[in-house]
Amino acid sequence: MTVRFDPIIADVKGARKIVPTVLSSMRKSKFKKTLKKDAAKTVKGWQGAKPHFVLLVREGKRQIYIFTLYLRGSKKGIDKWNWLDRGTPAHTIRAKRKPYLVFQPGYVAGSRPYTPGSRRLVSHRGRRFGPYRRKKQVEHPGIKAREWRKVLKEKNKGPFNTQLKAAIKDAVERSGHAIK
C-alpha cells in the first residue's frame, strides 16, 4: 500500500533543457537523506508495524516534483501513521473476538499534536498506567492530529530551496549558459 504526501514543487517554466541535470543533482543531494531521517523520527519509538519512507524525484508535465514522500510497508503501519498524522474523531470501540475489552485506562502519548511554529518530529513509546478494566465497549476520545506532513514540509523548505538553487546554478553552468 502506498500513501502519497504533498510534494515540494519547483516551477521551472522555460527551463526544460536543464531539468535532467537538476533532477540528477537533487537525487544525489544530502537534503534527500535529511528529509528521510526526519520522516523516520516520527516512528522511532513505535512497536509493531511501522511504515517506511520512500523519496522520489521526478518530473511532471509543467513542474518538477522534487521530493514526493511515500509511505510503504504494511497496511497496519501506514494506517497507524495516518491516524496520528491526520487525527481521528471520537468513536466507540466494541469487543469483537472476546466478550470484553481488557485495558488500562491511563495513557500518555509518545508524541504531541502539532502547534504552529513547532518543528517537533520526536516520537517515543507511549505509557499505559492504572488498574486493568473490563468493558464490553468504550468511547475513545479520538486522536489529536500530529500533522507530521506539515512539520516535514515547514522544517525542510529552507534547506530544500538552498539545495535546489545550487542544483539549478550547477545545471546552468554545465549547459554553458551561466551569466558572468
Of 49-53, 138-142, 157-161, the range with the lowest mean pLDDT is 157-161
What pLDDT, on the 0 to 100 scale, is given for residue 5? 58
Write out 83-150 in H/E/C secondary structure.
HHHHCECCEEEECCCCCCEEECCEEECCCCCCCCCCCCCCCCCCEEECCCEEECEEEECCECCCCHHH
What pLDDT, on the 0 to 100 scale, is given for residue 136? 95
Task: Quickly state the pLDDT bin for 86 (edges 50, 70, 90).
Answer: very high
Query: Does the structure show a pLDDT above 90 at 101?
Result: yes
Sorted by sequence, the CB contacts under 8 Å of residue 40 that are 6+ apart come out as: 52, 53
Pairing assessment for the beta strands 137-140 and 3-4 based on DSSP bridges:
unpaired
Answer whether 0.75 is exceeded by the pTM.
no
Query: Does the structure show a pLDDT above 80 at 56?
Result: no
Of 18-27, 38-47, 64-73, 94-103, the range with the lowest mean pLDDT is 64-73
More confident residue, 131 or 150: 131
Query: Does the structure show a pLDDT above 90 at 37?
Result: no
Query: Does the structure show a pLDDT above 70 at 110?
Result: yes
Q: What is the average pLDDT across 141-150?
A: 89
Q: What is the average pLDDT across 89-109?
A: 92
Q: Domain-by-domain residue ranges, the chain?
A: 3-175
What pLDDT, on the 0 to 100 scale, is given for residue 87? 93
Query: Does the structure show a pLDDT above 60 at 144?
Result: yes
The model's pLDDT over 57-83, given as tens digits with 9 standing for 90+, comes to 777 666 666 666 778 888 999 999 999
Distance CA 107, CA 127 (A): 6
Task: Quickly state the pLDDT bin for 130 (edges 50, 70, 90).
Answer: very high
